[in-house]
Every structure is written in structure tokens, then in C-alpha cells.
Amino acid sequence: MQDQSITVSDSAAKRISEIIAREPENTMLRVSVEGGGCSGFQYKFDLVQARDDEDMAIEKSGVVVLVDPISQEYMQGSVIDFVDDLIGAAFQIRNPNATAGCGCGTSFSI
């Protein structure tokens, strides 16, 4: 059986740490899936100070990433990554459930 957890890469944890260093104490990154985007679904990234009881909290290197229950269903087995290359720097989600994506990198279909 395949591991269905959502993970955060070292590079993503480092970049999240850099971002929240300028924010109020206890700031967390919320990653969610919404309808829309070029391919039907898109990822949304928000900085928040509150956690809902139902949220999955992924802790890595001193940062916390929250994923709500509905988004968890779409993101099972995903890796939240941060890539910095010649094209640019951005968070990317490697989602094994996505059957298609688009050039923007934040939109996908299942």
C-alpha cells in the first residue's frame, strides 16, 4: 500500500521559515485546494495564526503547514516543495493524484 501522507520537503520548510520570520509569532502556512484554475482545481497558500480542530498539521524544521480535511482528500501522497531555478522560485506540489496540470504550476485536474 502506498504512503498516503502529505509531506513537506526540506527546501519548502526552509523557505516557509524565511517567510514567517517576518510575521507575527505562531504564523503557519495553510495549503488548500479550491475549484478553479486552468485545469479545474488550484492550490491556495495563506499565512494564518489559527488552526482548526480538523486540520492536518505537518510540522517540519520548526514550521507548521496546515491542510483542511477536504483538501487532504485531493492531496493524499503529495509533497509540498519549494523550487528555485532559472525559470523562477515557487512552491510546487507534487501530487500523485493529479492526472493533468498546466503551465502555471498551481492548477491541476483529477
Q: Each residue of 28-59: pLDDT tens digit?
A: 999 999 877 666 788 899 999 999 999 999 99
Q: What is the pLDDT of residue 110?
A: 53
CA distances to 1, 27, 57, 99 from 30, rounded to whole Å, are: 27, 10, 9, 23
User: pLDDT-based confidence at 1, cuts 50/70/90?
Assistant: very low
Q: Tell which residue, 10, 9, 28, has the closest CA to residue 19.
A: 28
Please enumerate in sequence order all residues whose Cβ is within 8 A of that of 106, keeping only pairs 6 or more positions apart, or say none. 37, 42, 43
84: confidence class by pLDDT, cuts 50, 70, 90: confident
| CATH code for the domain defined by 7-109 | 2.60.300.12
User: pLDDT: is 107 or 30 the higher one?
Assistant: 30
Grade residue 100 by pLDDT with cuts at 50, 70 and 90. low
Rounded to two decimals, the pTM is 0.83
DSSP H or E segment with residue 17: helix 10-20
Each residue of 6-16: pLDDT tens digit? 999 999 999 99
Q: Mean pLDDT throughout 62-75? A: 94
Q: Does residue 62 register a pLDDT over 80?
A: yes
